[in-house]
């Protein structure tokens, strides 16, 4: 057990008493934005409080538990306990008296008021893709007949300005001093993309999103083909050319942009899977050994890149030629495909897929060999049985429950191996390499480690930073970011394929309402909705925080910026009257030439110095663990 | 540069054939270009298309501004009244100007129009409206086009175009003894002769940067009617004129001046003698003019002073001042003995002005709103040094046409305002504050701010000097001999400070506001009192700071936080800017300081307070804050 190659910060607690099921029924239990469990500090000290991620919920869904607190409560080593206490919010000294601190973040944003008569086109987010001739290609919401007219207007407006030798970049509508709507256009003739947002997103954010959508189209068509299609006939209908899965993928991308928790879009960086340096080294070496193995006998240039990626698009390792890297967008696109489209693959199935990497070479295709890593987590090897059981069984159970509920056939999300070649006919060569890598990794138990790492990650408790609810740290040098684990269900954002049809979106709100009433059977989808809402909330937080350090054009205010943002109740609540949970949230954005840190403190923490100290600790910790947190060079051949 | 301004009202057009009716004004600032009606109509068609397109995405309530950002151009459209759209296109280099600054000007321009000429929808004749728009909007924007630096003179305060600046004078609030205010109330407002006719008195303090830098004491000192809704419009109008024309005069308020580009055909190689002769001939000229009072001429700006008293035309004076060692000894009339620093006070706009002057010199009709009820009032303008008083009279109050009444009023005002001036304006110099603040109250739309404004006239080398032209006078003089420049050439960066003047009241009742300061011949810079640390920083930096703060404050406008929350932020840049912003339902507060300064005085009492982020501003700022919250 001791010899297990787990990191301390990755590791599950060594021996864990089954934690008592916390009392989950909060006095405030009700709707999503309702006040929730606050932990009154002074009173709850003796018994370790059980902060939650979200609202109180039925006890079956223990997956929602903040892993941090779970761990804290079961640490057995006295020393550890003391340490935890010191760094946790339970150290009383710094806390303002009479102040409730809770380990969750309240909703601070305007609720989307349920529209009385939802018009088909009234959304706070919309994407259009059309051809330069004004033909619709894709719309996120709404039927073709409805959007056709709008696309006509766009076409007219764009052409009007084209005649005047200029281009529309954006349209911003505001009322008084508040921005109501923002339209951003991306002209990639012969296609035009438009994003509408009534949310708090900057022009640059939207432009990034459009670029991603465009990149997707290019990845399936390639720029060359696209130009060729439209060069013949300007009013070519691209919809006929795109397949159903293309539309599904576009839907999925739009959905993950607008509803998921994908800081990739915000930060322009990839998420990286924290792994022990030695583990990563083993993976690198294994991959290198396979392609350099004379037995495999592959010519130089057969293999361009090799990637291992864990669920949630978390990069584990890169195999690349010296002096060549892949663009973040390309990788993001690839990962999005792998985890959206191809999760149904069986252990012995593999994919050979042409993809155009728009930033790598937008006019040609590369060929990807994709294979999922075998999955043994449900049958843990005896050696790590104890830790696995105590740590991940519960989440896994509920996760699989949910999986069963949503998609009976699927198993859990699994890491994947992707090998990229420029040669169409090198499938068998890559298959051989791939098999070799997988066998070797499996033999060394690495595949399990990857699965486990992606399940658990590190949590706030691993970092000596007080009062922090969650953070995102981006290393600019690596163009990668890390964040504490959100709990297994968070991976819903990178979905378990749910029925991605358009109708789902438009009636989703109604479904939620229904499910509330439908009793226990509907509880699961309720949980899912909550989790989704939590992630959206988190995303709104981060978007807002980042906007306070980055101006509309995507440039940071200054090459080094430190911003604190604080929300609190405007009017002091009246004595004796029932009131919601007091809101007092402090957030921080810290942008420097080397890193970006976005951080959300626990509700009730209002001391700037505490937040700053935690931020510094996080930065120190991330720097210290740089090799574990980020893929720095990868395996270079 | 500005590209074009368009005013249109789609509801004026009922069918396809009369679509040209919706176009009310189209003015291109690119002189040589002329567009066909079709092109103009297609442009407004596009603007409407964008507008209606946006509407189909829901929640369009209250949207009245729209920016279309193009490659090298931005088009700002604002919806005023019901269906009137005003759209302004700006090209290239000025796209660095935040759109909010442009909107602020669009809004102000509209407000000033309404203030003087009434609502647009009240014009029944479309042509009459077009004429007026031509007169007001085009000249407003042409001037800004000539001096684009004024587009951003208010800096981030432009973000609240509906708010107006109030002056903060030391000791104004806590004076217990009978103050100037009660005097003014007793003697003027409650006076039986004018009690019924005098609706309100607005007192402004408009200090010039020559004596005192800082913006704190600039603005409305107070008004007396509690229900005046037009304060923002009037105050912004006054501030605009005061800024653009550097100084208020009868001509400015009467709306009779305009900046024009000076034709460049001047020969620079004229010698001294020629100048003098030119000056003399002009002097003769205007002496003729002076005696020939029957000439139906309207008069000008600071030139008036010179025309009236020195018979010098300001341009000639300014030329002469360059050559004459001591201007004060030069007095063509030789009559008035010089009195140092005598307070000047008189009417700017009043029926006392000469009878040949147009009516706008006698009373200014402003459309003001009291208790949501807008109508026209007769306004008289009076000043005492740098204090401007606007007297708002009911239209049917005829006493203002009696000179007796006016001179009585003058003396009463003098006694009250001199008290104000001596009590509150001659304060002991204090140290410059190490921070700046701006507080915008959402309820009263008042701005209290100590942020200096960016007023640096940035006259490029190539631009021909601008001159302020008084309609009428210049045409007259141009026909005269040797006339090369305008009556009142002021290249904007050298505000002409004439010597002490005799009041022109005896002559025509024309006035120029402000004290005249003797130009220090010895080159000794006058003692300038400074409000805040920002008053001393270079103009360029000040502008950048304003732009920075604009970006910071903009984050409030994109924020989608729930209504019942307040948001605070503390933004620290590594160039020294430390900015605190707070918005709640009552007000928006912006504080800025340089955190490099803070390091020096690192003795911070760590008083844990629940006030939050403002604690981490410098000592002075947090003291200011706690004084504010406690009072």
Q: How far is CA B374 from CA B203, B228, B229, B230, B377, in A?
A: 21, 10, 9, 9, 9
Label residue A23 by pLDDT band (50, 70, 90): very low
The residue of chain B with its CA nearest to that of A127 is B57
Query: Is residue A47 over pLDDT 50?
Result: no
Which of A110-119, A131-140, A205-214 shows the lowest per-residue confidence on average (mean pLDDT)? A110-119
Query: Is residue B223 over pLDDT 50?
Result: yes
| Chain A closest-CA separation from residue B586 CA (Å) | 9
Q: What is the pLDDT of residue B426?
A: 66
Question: How far, in Å, CA of A175 to CA of B60, rounded?
Answer: 9
CA dihedral for A322, A324, A328, A329, sign (positive or negative): negative
**Mean pLDDT over residues B530-540, rounded?**
73
Query: Is residue A306 over pLDDT 60?
Result: yes
Q: What is the pLDDT of residue A598?
A: 92
CB of B585 within 8 Å of a chain A CB? The answer is: yes
Q: What is the pLDDT of residues A61-110, one digit of tens each?
A: 333 333 333 333 343 445 554 455 444 433 333 333 334 455 567 777 76
Question: How far, in Å, CA of B221 to CA of A349, rounded?
Answer: 81
Contacts of B416 (CB under 8 A, 6+ apart): B180, B183, B184, B187, B188
Q: Is A561 in contact with B61 (Cβ distance < 8 A)?
A: no
CB of B226 within 8 Å of a chain A CB? The answer is: no
Contacts of B465 (CB under 8 A, 6+ apart): B262, B459, B489, B491
The full length of chain A comes to 637
Contacts B42 to A, Cβ<8 Å:
160
Kindly state the tokens that stand for A473.
């740290």
CB of B56 within 8 Å of a chain A CB? The answer is: yes
Q: What is the pLDDT of residue A597?
A: 92
Q: Is B570 in contact with A559 (Cβ distance < 8 A)?
A: no
Contacts A549 to B, Cβ<8 Å:
571
Residues A542 and A597: beta-carbon distance below 8 Å: no
Which of A111-125, A381-395, A566-580, B247-261 shows the lowest per-residue confidence on average (mean pLDDT)? A381-395
Burial A343-380 (b: 16+ CB within 10 A, else e): bebeeeebbbbebbbbbbebeebbbbbbbbbbbebeeb
Q: What is the pLDDT of residues A212-258, one digit of tens each?
A: 999 999 998 888 888 888 888 888 888 888 888 888 889 888 988 88
Phi-psi region of B246 (alpha: psi -120 to 50; beta: other; left: phi over 0): left
Q: Is B615 in contact with A107 (Cβ distance < 8 A)?
A: no
What DSSP assignment string belongs to A324-347?
----HHHHHHHHHHHHHHSTT--T
Contacts A607 to B, Cβ<8 Å:
608
Helix and strand tally (H, E) in chain B? 15, 19
Q: Is B608 in contact with A559 (Cβ distance < 8 A)?
A: no
Q: Is A109 in contact with B560 (Cβ distance < 8 A)?
A: yes
Residue A351's beta-bridge partner residues? A370
Outline which parts of chain A fall under CATH 3.30.450.30.
125-242, 275-377+412-456
Q: Which residue has better confidence, B620 or A207?
A: A207
Query: Is residue A451 over pLDDT 60?
Result: yes
Label residue A7 by pLDDT band (50, 70, 90): very low
Kindly state the tokens that stand for B93.
């280099």
Per-chain mean pLDDT for chain A = 71
Which of A263-277, B19-33, B425-439 shows the lowest per-residue confidence on average (mean pLDDT)? B425-439
Q: Is A109 in contact with B562 (Cβ distance < 8 A)?
A: yes
The residue of chain A with its CA nearest to that of B563 is A110
Mutate to test the interface with B, among A174, A543, A571 (most CBs of B within 10 A): A174
Q: What is the pLDDT of residues B139-157, one digit of tens each?
A: 888 888 887 778 878 888 8
Question: How far, in Å, CA of A486 to CA of A533, rounded?
Answer: 13
Cis amide leading into B144 (omega within 30): no
Q: Is A173 in contact with B563 (Cβ distance < 8 A)?
A: no
Which of A364-368, B448-452, B453-457, B538-542 shows the lowest per-residue confidence on average (mean pLDDT)? B453-457
CB of B556 within 8 Å of a chain A CB? The answer is: yes
CATH entry, A125-242, from 3.40.50.10140, 2.40.50.100, 3.40.50.2030, 3.30.450.30: 3.30.450.30
Interface of B with A in 151-180 (CB under 8 A): 159-160
| Chain A closest-CA separation from residue B503 CA (Å) | 45
Question: How far, in Å, CA of B302 to CA of A397, rounded?
Answer: 86
Interface of B with A in 99-138 (CB under 8 A): 99
Q: What is the pLDDT of residue B147?
A: 79
Query: Is residue A50 over pLDDT 80?
Result: no
Query: Is residue A359 over pLDDT 70?
Result: yes
Outline which parts of chain B fall under CATH 3.30.450.70.
2-146
Q: What is the pLDDT of residue B87?
A: 92
CB of B454 within 8 Å of a chain A CB? The answer is: no
B345-349 vs B373-384, strand pairing mode: antiparallel
Q: Is B558 in contact with A566 (Cβ distance < 8 A)?
A: no
Is ipTM strictly over 0.85? no
| Chain A closest-CA separation from residue B392 CA (Å) | 30
Share of chain A above pLDDT 70, in %: 66
Query: Is residue B176 over pLDDT 80?
Result: no
Architecture of the A275-377+412-456 domain = 2-Layer Sandwich (3.30)
Q: What is the pLDDT of residue B433?
A: 77
Name which of A167, A168, A606 is nearest B612 (Cβ-Cβ): A606
Question: How far, in Å, CA of B474 to CA of B545, rounded?
Answer: 40
Q: Is A570 in contact with B565 (Cβ distance < 8 A)?
A: yes
**Mean pLDDT over residues A35-50, rounded?**
36
Q: Is B65 in contact with A160 (Cβ distance < 8 A)?
A: no
Share of chain A above pLDDT 90, in %: 6
Name which of B46, B559, B616 is nearest A544 (Cβ-Cβ): B559
| Chain B closest-CA separation from residue A66 CA (Å) | 26
Specify the 3-state DSSP secondary structure of B198.
strand
CA dihedral for A458, A459, A465, A468, sign (positive or negative): positive
Label residue A183 by pLDDT band (50, 70, 90): very high
Q: How far is CA B57 from CA A53, A122, A127, B60, B568, in A?
A: 34, 5, 11, 8, 31
Query: Is residue B228 over pLDDT 80?
Result: yes
Residues A552 and A531: beta-carbon distance below 8 Å: no
Q: Which of the listed ranges A442-456, B120-134, B204-218 does the model predict with the highest average pLDDT?
A: B120-134
Label residue A3 by pLDDT band (50, 70, 90): very low
CB of B16 within 8 Å of a chain A CB? The answer is: no
Q: What is the pLDDT of residue A214?
A: 93
Kindly state the tokens that stand for A292.
């350099």
Specify the 3-state DSSP secondary structure of A224.
helix
Q: Is B63 in contact with A547 (Cβ distance < 8 A)?
A: no
Question: How far, in Å, CA of B183 to CA of A206, rounded?
Answer: 60
CB of B281 within 8 Å of a chain A CB? The answer is: no
Query: Is residue A414 over pLDDT 70?
Result: yes
| Chain B closest-CA separation from residue A396 CA (Å) | 35
| Chain B closest-CA separation from residue A457 CA (Å) | 31
Question: How far, in Å, CA of B297 to CA of B334, rounded?
Answer: 26
Rg of the Cα trace of chain A?
A: 25
Which CATH number is associated with domain B2-146?
3.30.450.70
CB of B402 within 8 Å of a chain A CB? The answer is: no
Contacts B572 to A, Cβ<8 Å:
561-563
Burial B434-447 (b: 16+ CB within 10 A, else e): bbbbbbbbbeebbb
CB of B572 within 8 Å of a chain A CB? The answer is: yes
Q: What is the pLDDT of residue A104?
A: 64
Q: What is the pLDDT of residues B35-93, one digit of tens each?
A: 788 888 888 889 988 888 888 887 777 788 888 988 888 899 999 888 899 999 888 66
Q: What is the pLDDT of residues B368-423, one digit of tens each?
A: 888 888 888 888 888 887 888 888 888 888 888 888 888 888 888 888 888 888 77
Q: Where are the alpha helices (DSSP H) in A142-276?
A: 144-163, 203-221, 223-232, 238-241, 244-258, 263-267
Q: What is the pLDDT of residue A410?
A: 42
Question: How far, in Å, CA of B80 to CA of B88, rounded?
Answer: 13
Q: What is the pLDDT of residue A195?
A: 92
Q: How far is CA B3 from CA B145, B196, B315, in A?
A: 9, 48, 31
**Mean pLDDT over residues A567-584, rounded?**
68
Chain A / chain B CB contacts < 8 angstroms: 190
A314-320 vs A635-636, strand pairing mode: parallel
Query: Is residue B581 over pLDDT 60?
Result: yes
**Mean pLDDT over residues A362-385, rounded?**
68
Contacts B99 to A, Cβ<8 Å:
172
Name which of A167, A176, A560 is nearest B71 (Cβ-Cβ): A167
Contacts B585 to A, Cβ<8 Å:
570-571
Q: What is the pLDDT of residue B81?
A: 84
Q: What is the pLDDT of residue B508?
A: 53
Question: How far, in Å, CA of B308 to CA of B289, rounded?
Answer: 10
Q: What is the pLDDT of residue B429?
A: 62
Q: What is the pLDDT of residue A119?
A: 63
| Chain B closest-CA separation from residue A34 CA (Å) | 13
Residue B234 burial by Cβ neighbours in a 10 Å radius (0-12, 13-18, 19+): buried
């Amino acid at each position: 057990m001791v010899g297990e190659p787990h990191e301390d910060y990755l590791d599950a607690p060594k021996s864990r008493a089954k934690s008592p099921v916390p009392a989950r029924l909060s006095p405030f239990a009700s709707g999503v934005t309702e006040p929730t469990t606050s932990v009154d500090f002074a009173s709850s000290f003796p018994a370790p409080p059980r902060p939650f991620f979200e609202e109180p919920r039925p006890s079956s869904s223990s997956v929602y538990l903040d892993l941090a607190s779970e761990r804290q409560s079961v640490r057995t080593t006295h020393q550890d306990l003391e340490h935890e206490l010191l760094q946790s919010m339970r150290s009383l000294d710094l806390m303002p008296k009479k102040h409730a601190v809770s380990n969750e973040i309240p909703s601070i944003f305007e609720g989307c008021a349920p529209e009385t008569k939802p018009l088909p086109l009234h959304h706070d987010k919309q994407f259009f893709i059309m051809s330069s001739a004004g033909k619709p290609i894709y719309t996120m919401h709404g039927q073709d007949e409805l959007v056709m007219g709008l696309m006509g207007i766009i076409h007219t407006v764009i052409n009007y300005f084209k005649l005047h030798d200029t281009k529309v970049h954006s349209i911003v509508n505001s009322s008084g001093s508040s921005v109501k709507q923002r339209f951003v256009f991306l002209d990639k003739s012969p296609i035009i993309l438009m994003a509408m947002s009534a949310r708090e997103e900057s022009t640059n954010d939207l432009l990034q999103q459009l670029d991603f959508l465009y990149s997707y189209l290019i990845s399936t068509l390639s720029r060359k083909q696209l130009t060729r299609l439209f060069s013949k006939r300007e009013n070519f209908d691209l919809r006929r050319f795109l397949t159903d899965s293309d539309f599904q993928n576009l839907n999925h991308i739009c959905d993950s942009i607008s509803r998921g928790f994908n800081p990739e879009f915000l930060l322009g960086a990839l998420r990286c899977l924290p792994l022990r340096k030695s583990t990563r080294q083993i993976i690198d070496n294994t991959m290198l050994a396979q392609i350099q193995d004379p037995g495999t006998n592959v010519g130089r240039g057969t293999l361009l890149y090799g990637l291992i990626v864990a669920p949630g698009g978390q990069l584990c390792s890169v195999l690349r030629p010296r002096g060549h890297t892949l663009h973040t967008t390309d990788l993001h696109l690839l990962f999005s495909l792998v985890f959206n489209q191809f999760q149904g693959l069986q252990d012995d199935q593999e994919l050979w897929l042409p993809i155009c990497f728009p930033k790598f070479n937008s006019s040609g295709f590369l060929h990807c060999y994709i294979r999922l890593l075998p999955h043994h987590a449900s049958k843990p090897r005896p050696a790590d049985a104890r830790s696995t059981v105590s740590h991940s069984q519960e989440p896994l159970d509920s996760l699989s429950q949910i999986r069963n509920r949503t998609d009976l056939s699927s198993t859990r999300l699994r890491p994947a191996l992707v090998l990229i070649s420029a040669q169409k006919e090198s499938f068998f060569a890559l298959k051989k390499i791939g098999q070799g890598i997988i066998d070797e990794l499996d033999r060394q138990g690495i595949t399990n480690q990857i699965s486990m790492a992606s399940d658990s990650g590190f949590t706030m408790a691993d970092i000596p930073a007080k009062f922090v609810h969650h953070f995102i740290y981006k290393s600019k040098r690596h163009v990668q970011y890390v964040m504490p684990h959100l709990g297994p269900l968070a991976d819903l954002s990178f979905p378990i394929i749910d029925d991605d049809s358009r109708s789902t979106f438009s009636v989703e709100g109604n479904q939620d309402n229904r499910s509330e009433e439908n009793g226990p059977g509907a509880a699961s989808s309720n949980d899912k909705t909550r989790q989704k809402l939590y992630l959206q909330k988190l995303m709104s937080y981060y978007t807002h925080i980042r906007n306070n350090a980055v101006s509309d054009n995507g440039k940071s205010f200054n090459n080094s910026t430190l911003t604190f943002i604080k929300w609190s109740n405007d009017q002091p609540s009246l004595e004796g009257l029932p009131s919601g949970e007091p809101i007092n949230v402090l957030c921080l954005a810290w942008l420097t030439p080397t890193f970006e840190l976005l951080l959300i403190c626990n509700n009730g923490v209002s001391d700037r110095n505490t937040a700053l100290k935690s931020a510094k600790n996080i930065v120190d910790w991330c720097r210290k663990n740089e090799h574990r947190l980020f893929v720095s060079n990868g395996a270079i051949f | 540069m500005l590209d074009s301004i368009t005013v249109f009202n789609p509801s004026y057009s009922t069918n396809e054939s009369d679509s040209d009716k919706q176009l009310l004004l189209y003015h291109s600032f690119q002189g040589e270009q002329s567009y066909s009606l079709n092109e103009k109509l297609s442009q407004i068609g596009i603007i409407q298309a964008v507008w209606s397109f946006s509407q189909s995405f829901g929640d369009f309530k209250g949207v009245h501004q729209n920016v279309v950002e193009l490659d090298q151009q931005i088009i700002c459209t604002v919806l005023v009244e019901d269906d009137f759209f005003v759209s302004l296109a700006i090209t290239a280099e000025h796209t660095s100007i935040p759109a909010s600054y442009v909107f602020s000007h669009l809004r102000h321009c509209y407000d000033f129009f309404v203030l003087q000429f009434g609502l647009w929808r009240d014009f029944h004749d479309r042509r009459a409206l077009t004429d007026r728009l031509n007169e007001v909007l085009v000249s407003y924007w042409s001037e800004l086009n000539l001096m684009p630096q004024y587009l951003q003179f208010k800096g981030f305060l432009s973000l609240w175009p509906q708010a107006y600046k109030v002056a903060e004078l030391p000791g104004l609030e806590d004076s217990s003894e009978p103050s100037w205010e009660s005097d003014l109330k007793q003697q003027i407002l409650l006076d039986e002769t004018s009690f019924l006719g005098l609706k309100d008195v607005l007192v402004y303090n408009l200090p010039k940067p020559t004596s005192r830098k800082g913006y704190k004491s600039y603005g409305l000192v107070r008004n007396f009617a509690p229900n005046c809704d037009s304060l923002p419009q009037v105050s912004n109008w006054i501030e605009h004129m005061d800024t653009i024309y550097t100084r208020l005069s009868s001509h400015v308020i009467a709306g009779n001046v305009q900046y024009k580009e000076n034709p460049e055909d001047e020969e620079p190689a004229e010698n001294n003698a020629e100048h003098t002769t030119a000056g003399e001939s002009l002097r003769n000229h205007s002496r003729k003019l002076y005696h020939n009072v029957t000439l139906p001429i309207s008069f000008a700006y600071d030139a008036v002073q010179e025309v009236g008293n020195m018979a010098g035309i300001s341009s000639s004076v300014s030329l002469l001042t360059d050559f004459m060692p001591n201007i004060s000894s030069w007095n063509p009339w030789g009559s008035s003995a010089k009195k140092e620093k005598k307070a000047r006070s008189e009417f700017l706009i009043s029926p006392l002005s000469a009878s040949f002057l147009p009516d706008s010199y006698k009373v200014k009709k402003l459309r003001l709103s009291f208790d949501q009820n807008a109508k026209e009032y007769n306004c008289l303008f009076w000043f005492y040094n740098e204090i401007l008083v606007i007297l708002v009279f009911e239209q049917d109050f005829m006493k203002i046409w009696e000179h007796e009444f006016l001179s009585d009023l003058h003396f009463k005002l003098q006694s009250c305002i001199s008290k104000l001036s001596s009590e509150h304006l001659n304060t002991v110099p204090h140290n410059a504050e190490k921070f700046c603040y701006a507080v915008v109250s959402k309820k009263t739309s008042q701005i209290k701010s100590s942020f200096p404004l960016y007023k640096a006239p940035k006259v490029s080398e190539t631009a021909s000097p601008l001159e302020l032209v008084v309609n009428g006078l210049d045409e007259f003089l141009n026909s005269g001999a040797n006339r090369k420049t305008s009556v009142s050439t002021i290249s904007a960066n050298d505000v002409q400070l004439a010597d002490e003047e005799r009041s022109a009241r005896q002559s025509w009742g024309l006035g120029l506001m402000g004290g005249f300061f003797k130009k220090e011949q010895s080159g000794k810079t006058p003692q300038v009192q400074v409000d805040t640390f920002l008053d001393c920083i270079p103009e360029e930096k000040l502008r950048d700071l304003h732009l920075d703060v604009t970006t910071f404050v903009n984050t409030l406008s994109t924020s989608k936080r729930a209504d019942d929350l307040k948001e605070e932020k503390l933004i620290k840049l590594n160039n020294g800017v430390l900015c605190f912003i707070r918005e709640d339902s009552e007000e928006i507060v912006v504080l800025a300081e340089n955190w490099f300064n803070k390091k020096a005085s690192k003795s911070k009492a760590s008083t844990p307070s629940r006030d939050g982020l403002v604690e981490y501003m410098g000592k002075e700022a947090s003291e200011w804050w706690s004084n504010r919250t406690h009072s």
